[in-house]
Structure 1
């Protein structure tokens, strides 16, 4: 700032020359300076007032907006920030398609100790060892007299055990509230439910976490506090599930099988009504996984219906026949050369019986001719076969809502050669799970539209993309009906009066862990549809290493093992499904269509 002198010399000299007053000039300049200083001070004060006014305005607006938000929000209970208060204890129930309870929570307590507060640790250790036989008195006493100030004793105890501990009268033994996961039906649908365990724990709370099955796949949904009162509804029917498991267990015993699996699926929606795997377990007391070095299928935790990847044998033959029909290569009465064996290098393809020089396409399926099916596969070609099996879902894991399903990748040939094409057509050289097979049968036989398997009810299911025409689907169902109803079919034991069962047997040699196949161990499978005139359900039954003695002869093929078990399941569950038996009109069996 440039300061103006109060007594400028030029003006003073001029004023003296003209008789003026130099002091007046000083007073004038002083007055002007004071006015300038006053103006600057006023401007600074006005600026400060404006800034302060703006700050107050923003503060009032912020307070007003916050008050408006609070007034429009839903009031909630205040949260206690005590230890464990942040652990989510809620977990929704799981119910079947009829709303019947399959999993819920049960209020219980955990037992813990605070050794510094214990009065008689020796007496407490002895009494706890008496109440809980799995605890050792010496180890407990060592812990109670050691340096630790806190230790867990039992993650959950029954009301009777709690009372017994309370009667000890030891102030250092305390209880923490818990909710345990309860499966009121025990081992029924164990592999679907999976199980749960405690995750994060505190004295006053513990988190439940799903470890397998539906509990794991829907862990976030089940543990969401906002949906705690909304049960997760499955597609399973608890009554039918129990009936299937009972029959399957009886069949497994009678057929001396190592394991068994069964899947009952709605042919049009892909909803799974029952999914069973034996041996099973009780999810209320879930066993520990086997240690490394063991075959996973040896564990009861192994889900054979979903995780088991097997060669499924002659159940695949209907796919080759259906594709050949769909491509217009054959019709049901086309004659197929069945002379054998078919030689491919050092490999030979033979039939179980000699079926003569030729069979119709229908008889190739009814009599289960490997040679005839291989001839069809040669006409179809490797690329077409692979594309068709891909559409049926055989080249990737199923989309079912089970954690275990993601690892069930079908085993495909590294080189899809003509030999692979022929062997795959009758179920060898490609391994898949029983669930893959159920999905493919439903897609082929329900009228020809692809289904996606599901265990959770989500409302109406729209039809999937078309796999084959309705005509091809109907012809395939008729062929499978002949397999059961014809005198020379391989599944005559599957006949259930009034329900028009159709299906295909499959007997595949069981592979050895280090390569090759066993001579006396098989995987026996029966894939069926009922009723064939109005397809509603698909049933897959698989037995691991079955053998039954008939007339002093060991029988292992599916026709003598898996088929009778499947027939008994259909006989038991068809009325429960609301299917009324119908008298089948007498008439010739077989498809008589002649047009390609």
Structure 2
């Protein structure tokens, strides 16, 4: 930097020539230099203050923005991070086809204790035993005064119980938030829903997992956060389901039955509109399995899916339809019904003597075992097995329940000629009522395979493989309608709904082998309306009996059929089916003058 001299020689000499003081020039230059240095220092200081001010402005702006963002969000407790997957305690609702809630979640609390923090363990144990009578005061006191540092007391408590525990005032009694599974309709559709319980648990959350039914089958889907809370929509209609369970319960009481099963299924889509098994249970308090050799005595046993029975004469329509489909007979072909029919040491007899021969149609209407056996002999064992397989009788149903694989049909070890004949009228082979519903739907909907489903179908369903022609399906429907109007199911003639169906009465097997002589499984399988089918209905009663027409009756025509008729009468309007009222005969109308 070039500095200006304080006493420049030129100006000093010039000042001396003019008689001025040269020291004034040096003083003036010194003053100017100091002023220049002050201006520079001031500019540097002002620049520093400007930078510092900008820094503080940005810092306060960032803090203010963050505070504004925090004030606009919902407050929550800070959570410590931990390794591993967190417990997922959210679970989607389950609804029926109309959006009515079948299963949902309820916020509640769990009660636990930390004994080292307790002030008066004896008082706490005494008060807890008073609030929760199922708890033992002595055991609680032993846990509170022992070496345990943590113990669960109750997994779920009500708000009233929570307040009562809070009033004890002991700091060692603590509450943890919970989300419990709630079934607002109680036992309605209990076997389908199944139930839920807790999996992994922590003091601040618990994992709700399905233990049976659709809750278990769709467990991963119901707990998947990617579904964003979307409800699982079932094909059930809650109003139809409730009506079915009420009718079946009444039927069990009137017919003094040990159990009952009912199914209503869409004949075209396979959607299960209602399915019940009685006795049932409340999934809010699911009972434990019953130990023993007979699982059917447990209320959690699903007779519709897991119950594998010989279903009796409801199978006869399959033999008649297959024989017609193969071109071996038609509905009016005469069949030899003279009996008894002998095969080795076995004798096949009819319930009544129907004469020397019947048409194929009348074999079904009168329910002739001999006539059906002769149709089966025309068909042959390989073709019979193949046909029943096409209807789904050789494997478990694929319905969306974890219990479905356990309902495996019981087939003969060797499909011999005697097996061929007995299976044709529903003996020698066991299957579930749901198998029967699928098969009737497949046979009577025009002849295409239908598989049962518990999921609502949003649109038309593509037809399955063809099992019989449309003409054979129409013949089968006409024969089943004749069973109601002329045969063994006359009590099923519900005015306006043109119900067609078949009865079946089978001796109940003993758990130790053989059959009871005084206990039966009575079944009715039907379709309505028969001329333009919409739904299949199955009703099965375990050990029914009723005193009617002067004697004790156990056959399906006297037990299962009246229950099925009442079921259709109650549920058909709920499903939007308008009764067809027959027009009056003009010849029976008398004209009356208005004058």
Contact 2:95 2:233 in 1 (8 A): yes
Show the counterpart of 2:220.
220
Show the counterpart of 1:533.
531
1:275 aligns with 2:275: yes
Cα 1:278–1:111, aligned 2, differ >3 Å: closer, same or farther? same
Aligned length: 508
- Root-mean-square deviation over aligned CA pairs: 1.5
1:409 aligns with 2:441: no
**In the TM superposition, what are the counterparts of 1:194-213 in structure 2 within 5 Å?**
194-213=194-213
Contact 1:500 1:584 in 2 (8 A): no
Deviations 1:163-219 (A, max 9, x none): 000000000000000000000000000000000000000111100110000000000
Contact 1:84 1:201 in 2 (8 A): no
Show the counterpart of 1:556.
554
Show the counterpart of 2:86.
86
Separation in structure 2 between the aligned mates of residue 375 and residue 551 of structure 1, nearest angstrom: 33
Post-superposition offset of 1:157: 0.3
1:380 aligns with 2:405: no
Contact 2:97 2:234 in 1 (8 A): yes
Separation in structure 2 between the aligned mates of residue 445 and residue 527 of structure 1, nearest angstrom: 12
Contact 2:235 2:457 in 1 (8 A): no
Show the counterpart of 1:512.
510
Separation in structure 1 between the aligned mates of residue 255 and residue 293 of structure 2, nearest angstrom: 25
Contact 1:266 1:537 in 2 (8 A): yes
Separation in structure 1 between the aligned mates of residue 473 and residue 85 of structure 2, nearest angstrom: 58
1:298 aligns with 2:315: no
Separation in structure 2 between the aligned mates of residue 84 and residue 301 of structure 1, nearest angstrom: 36
Separation in structure 2 between the aligned mates of residue 459 and residue 414 of structure 1, nearest angstrom: 42
Post-superposition offset of 1:299: 0.2
Structure 1 stretch 453-462 or stretch 520-529: which is displaced more?
453-462
Show the counterpart of 1:340.
339
Show the counterpart of 2:9.
none
Show the counterpart of 1:477.
477
Post-superposition offset of 1:294: 3.6
Post-superposition offset of 1:407: 1.2
Post-superposition offset of 1:458: 4.2
Helix, strand or coil at the partner of 1:563: helix
1:425 aligns with 2:411: no
Separation in structure 2 between the aligned mates of residue 397 and residue 584 of structure 1, nearest angstrom: 42
Show the counterpart of 1:328.
327
Contact 1:91 1:228 in 2 (8 A): no
Contact 1:190 1:282 in 2 (8 A): yes
Cα 1:336–1:478, aligned 2, differ >3 Å: closer, same or farther? same
Helix, strand or coil at the partner of 2:408: coil
Separation in structure 1 between the aligned mates of residue 218 and residue 405 of structure 2, nearest angstrom: 14
Show the counterpart of 1:542.
540
Show the counterpart of 1:33.
none
Show the counterpart of 2:266.
266
Separation in structure 2 between the aligned mates of residue 171 and residue 181 of structure 1, nearest angstrom: 29
1:191 aligns with 2:195: no
Separation in structure 2 between the aligned mates of residue 359 and residue 552 of structure 1, nearest angstrom: 30
Post-superposition offset of 1:123: 0.4
Post-superposition offset of 1:80: 4.6
Separation in structure 2 between the aligned mates of residue 491 and residue 319 of structure 1, nearest angstrom: 17
Show the counterpart of 1:501.
499
Post-superposition offset of 1:355: 0.1
Helix, strand or coil at the partner of 1:431: coil
TM-score (norm 2): 0.84
Show the counterpart of 2:35.
none
Helix, strand or coil at the partner of 2:350: coil
Post-superposition offset of 1:583: 2.8
Separation in structure 2 between the aligned mates of residue 240 and residue 515 of structure 1, nearest angstrom: 38
Post-superposition offset of 1:552: 4.0
Separation in structure 2 between the aligned mates of residue 252 and residue 491 of structure 1, nearest angstrom: 19
Contact 1:83 1:202 in 2 (8 A): no
Cα 1:403–1:85, aligned 2, differ >3 Å: closer, same or farther? closer
Separation in structure 2 between the aligned mates of residue 266 and residue 332 of structure 1, nearest angstrom: 27
Post-superposition offset of 1:459: 2.7
1:572 aligns with 2:566: no
Contact 2:269 2:457 in 1 (8 A): no
Post-superposition offset of 1:82: 5.5
Cα 1:407–1:534, aligned 2, differ >3 Å: closer, same or farther? same
Deviations 1:299-328 (A, max 9, x none): 000000000000010000000000000000
Cα 1:525–1:541, aligned 2, differ >3 Å: closer, same or farther? same
Contact 1:83 1:203 in 2 (8 A): no
Post-superposition offset of 1:585: 7.1
Post-superposition offset of 1:429: 0.4
Separation in structure 1 between the aligned mates of residue 84 and residue 573 of structure 2, nearest angstrom: 51
Show the counterpart of 1:434.
433
Post-superposition offset of 1:512: 1.0
Show the counterpart of 1:524.
522
Helix, strand or coil at the partner of 1:375: helix
Show the counterpart of 1:35.
none
Separation in structure 1 between the aligned mates of residue 211 and residue 92 of structure 2, nearest angstrom: 15
